[in-house]
Chains A and B, each alone.
Chain A
Amino acid sequence: MIADKVKNLIKNSVDQFSIIENDVDEYIVRFYSGQVSIAAKNKVLYLQMLATKGKKKVFKVITDVNSLENSVEDALKILELTEEGEVPEIYPKASYSSKEISDKEIEFEEALNKVINSIEQAYELGIDRTAGIAKLYKTKFYLLTSTGNEKEETRTDYIYYIRAFKGNGSGFGNSVSTSIKRFDPSVAATEAAEYAVKSEAPKHISEGKYNVILSPPIASTIFELVAEMCSAYSIDVGFSFLKDKIGEFIAPKELNVTDYGQIEDGVNSRSFDDEGTPTSTTKLIESGRFVSAIHNSITAKKWGTKTTGNAGVIEPSPWNVVVEGGNADIDEMIKEIKEGVFITNNWYTRFNNYRTGEFSTIIRDAAFYIKNGEISHPVANIRLSDSLPRLLNSIKMISQNTRWIKWWGEVVTPVKSPYILVDGTTLTVP
């Protein structure tokens, strides 16, 4: 293992270190209009090295594995030049337990067949065209720390998303899994195609306040943002509306949001963080109350608390976010709305102000106008403009069904989310 070589190169020059070796095999199949636009096979072996000496610290990513001596020497030079300050604490001797959530190997042929069949299924439903991607990863992690920790683990991740287009409508589907057994492009493609067909001829609606049902893809955007804003670093530098809100109600009592270091189908699972701390399960919102920020050792020290195992050497980040399902089913939620909109997906979320939580996001793919408890017609060309504190406080119903979401650009940290009914959000039209 190259991590062992680096350990031998630095162990006598630093006080603390955490070295993580990542050995990644990646398969990618991208497609559009029924064609495969590119297929890729990538292999990368790289190291993340965190080292401290006295009150100095450095973090280095090394891919030039053929000249490890030079890379380590360079890191040690940087370490000498840095200013003294708070240093991360590498976790003491620990026992890590890797959950059995992954396959041993990537099943490429099987995954490819599932993907190709899914595209064909989408076309069978009468759509005009598709575009999408499947990304399959096998990652071998190897941790070594100055505190004597040593841990090897292997994960497989399967991520697929598809858009189907029909007329002026489109639909989105997403399948995310840590095992080929539960990787299901077929369900995702069918949903995308059905939404595309149903939204083929959208109408315009007027700007105003609406009660909306947010499907898992857009609800995941919201909860990913909330989880990121639970990072103590985000709160300290101004990227969060949660400053001074620990212990306060920020949502109705039905809302529970938890970060899992490892969980079945959470495609960002690991048993240790970048400081060698065992990852854990951290309740962020419990019965509507913001109960915990997420920490690495530096933010924990600053806040007078313990790390939650979410390092990030600079910024602690959530691993896999799970929003607990509620009691409602989708039909009940639709029946509840006199006038509103059912939203299936979104894209391009940007903040006017992170401290106040004011943001807007483009409604993308199928959306449907609801009148007197029934879906009436598809709508297009709208934007949701709101603030996170108002939106969270206006959640009225939470579905029983939850689903994992992770896709390009919008939901980067995996989120398992239900459908949510939100009162009185603003939808704008240009």
Chain B
Amino acid sequence: MIDEEIAHFAVQYSSKLGFKYCEARVQQDIYISQSLNNGAPDVPLKSEFYGIGIRGIYKGIMGFASTNILTKESVSKAVEDLKRTLESVAATRKNEKIKMSEEDVLTANWTVDERTRFEDLSLDWFLKEAKELDDIVKSETKIKQRLIKLKGSLQLKYFVNSEGTIVRARIPRYLFTAFITAYESSDIAQRFIEIGGSGGPEVLDKLNTFEKFKNEVKTMTKIVGKRNAIKEGAYDVIVGPEVAGIMAHESIGHPFEADRIRGREGAQGGESYLRDIKSNKIGSSETNISDDPTIPFSYGYFLFDEEGVKARKKELVKEGLVKELLHNRETAGELGIKSNASARAANYSVEPIIRMSNTYVEPGEWTFEEMLKDVKNGLFINSFMEWNIDDRRLNQRYVGFEAYKITNSEISEPVKGVIIETTTLNLWSKLYARSKELEFSAATCGKGDPEQGVPVWTGGPYLLFKGLNLKVR
């Protein structure tokens, strides 16, 4: 049971000590995970993080305090220590005034439906599921190393702020990850697989986890040892939903975080090309990219953010043009607009910061077959391993894992180490068509210091790029 009373006490006590705005979040995160290394069960892990995070503005400076001792005495001390810390800081710097955006004062309760509650699931379920997933791979003779992991989590939150907003939330999540290595002649292939969502354990069935993993294993054993290099140059390229998703997340989602544009993340994840570009044109008119936390069963699901603002879909890029950034109350307040509920915190002990949720390329009108017909001779890159992007989010690379030549409009032989290495504006300017499908992959997005990993989905349809320059590893 979450201690709601202590959250109200924290807000009242902070206000009494002179904090201008304050909020308290009592949060419990419980994790269970079971991994199998080459079939052998590792030590099962259970972690419980339960405590209170208090954030408030004092002498013009944003402060944050947390403790896991939920007594009035301990919380009072946390607030007093924070006040003292902020007084020391205020004595050395004159900060600009922080203006939080004006938002509705509300009371809300939101949960995620579960057929089986997290609390009713015992460790043997994790072990049994992990072993069944391991069964898919263990008899494959080409796959000689494997790490299979099943993780479940439950997040319970109670949020209250000095304006009177109250939000209660309960979010169970499940994540399957696999790291497998296949050998054939001199070729060694490696692949990460992540499948996850919000809901009861049945969400893994809803996401076709077993079927997807079987397909991945089948693909890996089929292509290892048979992959050849291609000649570098310009190609028409179809990429799969997994590649579309990482492109949207890295080159559109992150640089659209308003705190990065202001420079607040400059020493960590970096800044954004949106500080510098003169036009608001990002790509071709096919470039339509959104972030939507309200997608049912999604891994990045939430209905109210960590500042008590109601969540909604955000169209980041519409028909190639910048439409909306990701805001919290601080960045929205500076611009005199409303927050679009992008503040998230990984656990009770860290401040809420601007985050993505489920970021994806919107589907289009084409079929995959129509794309193949259009390409005639080119490349199909369905998934990736290596990727990275610079800290202004311009210079990016995606190295194909499952990739094939397209010859006479048919998928032909597998290729190895094919690299898309380009800039954001060049990439999206070459987007020619989007398919009707919309598929998602689970990921844990990192940002902030202290580092905060939060669950997200990345996704999209099949995308057809015209004349994309490809390199080879």
Contact = CB atoms under 8 A, between A and B. Distances in A.
Contacts of A383: 388, 395, 397, 421
Contacts of A64: 28, 48, 50, 68
B385 A352 contact: yes
Nearest to B64: A40
Interface stretch (A81-89, A179-187, A261-269, A370-378): A81-89
A359 B146 CA distance: 20
Question: Interface residues of A toward B: which range?
Answer: 35 or more
Question: Interface residues of B toward A: which range?
Answer: 35 or more
A1 B423 CA distance: 55
B89 A83 contact: no
A21 B355 CA distance: 32
B66 A237 contact: no
A355 B189 CA distance: 9
A153 to B, nearest CB: 21
A40 B84 CA distance: 11
Given A236-B145, A360-B397, A116 B451 contact: no
A125 interface: no
Contacts of B396: 430
Nearest to B92: A116
B48 A237 contact: no
A347 B42 CA distance: 31
Interface string B121-136: 0111001000000000
Interface in A121-180: 129-133, 135, 161-163, 165
Interface string B143-165: 00111000000000000000000
Interface in B58-90: 61-70, 74, 78, 81-82, 85-86, 88-89
Contacts of A306: none
A238 B181 contact: yes
Nearest to A37: B264
Interface in B32-69: 35, 37-38, 40-51, 61-69
Contact of B123 (A32, A82, A131, A162): A82
B102 interface: no
A96 interface: no
Interface stretch (A44-52, A276-284, A392-400): A44-52
B93 A61 contact: no
Interface stretch (A72-80, A220-228, A249-257): A72-80
B179 A408 contact: no
A233 B61 CA distance: 45
Max chain B C-beta neighbours (<10 A), residue from A65, A132, A352: A352
B389 interface: yes
B194 to A, nearest CB: 15
A98 interface: no
Contact of B388 (A35, A58, A162, A349): A349
Contact of B92 (A46, A85, A113, A408): A113
A381 interface: yes
Contacts of A408: 267-268, 449, 451
A291 interface: no
Contacts of A113: 92
B211 interface: no
A236 B38 contact: yes
A129 B51 CA distance: 36
Contacts of B44: 57-59, 78, 82
Contact of B263 (A86, A109, A129): A129
A38 B390 contact: no
Interface stretch (A23-31, A316-324, A329-337, A414-422): A23-31
A300 B372 CA distance: 52
B190 interface: yes
B293 interface: no
Given A355-B181, A362-B388, A132 B48 contact: no
B446 interface: yes
B286 interface: no
B391 interface: yes
B234 interface: no
A105 to B, nearest CB: 14
Given A40-B351, A112-B92, A63 B48 contact: yes
A53 interface: no
Nearest to A78: B123
Contact of A36 (B93, B127, B387, B449): B93
A245 interface: no
A129 B451 CA distance: 23
A61 B86 contact: no
Contact of A348 (B88, B265, B389): B389
B43 A57 contact: yes
Nearest to A61: B47
Contacts of A364: 270, 390-391
Contact of B190 (A85, A116, A353, A430): A353
Contacts of A350: 386-388
Nearest to A84: B41
Nearest to A358: B473
A361 B82 contact: no
Interface in B272-312: none
Contacts of B358: none
A8 interface: no
A401 interface: no
Contacts of A362: 388-391, 395
A385 to B, nearest CB: 7
A97 to B, nearest CB: 28
Given A36-B89, A36-B93, A163-B267, 17 more contacts: A28-B64, A30-B449, A37-B62, A38-B62, A39-B63, A57-B44, A63-B51, A81-B123, A108-B85, A116-B92, A348-B389, A355-B188, A383-B421, A408-B267, A428-B397, A429-B395, A430-B421
Interface of A: 27-30, 32-46, 50, 57-66, 71, 74-75, 77-78, 81-83, 85-86, 88, 108-109, 112-113, 116, 129-133, 135, 161-163, 165, 233, 236-239, 313-314, 347-356, 358-362, 364, 381, 383, 385, 408-409, 428-430
Closest 6 CB pairs of A and B: A131-B266, A238-B145, A352-B386, A61-B47, A348-B388, A238-B181
20 contacts: A33-B263, A35-B95, A41-B65, A42-B64, A57-B43, A59-B44, A60-B47, A65-B69, A75-B46, A109-B88, A112-B89, A238-B180, A350-B386, A350-B387, A352-B399, A364-B270, A364-B390, A383-B395, A408-B451, A409-B269
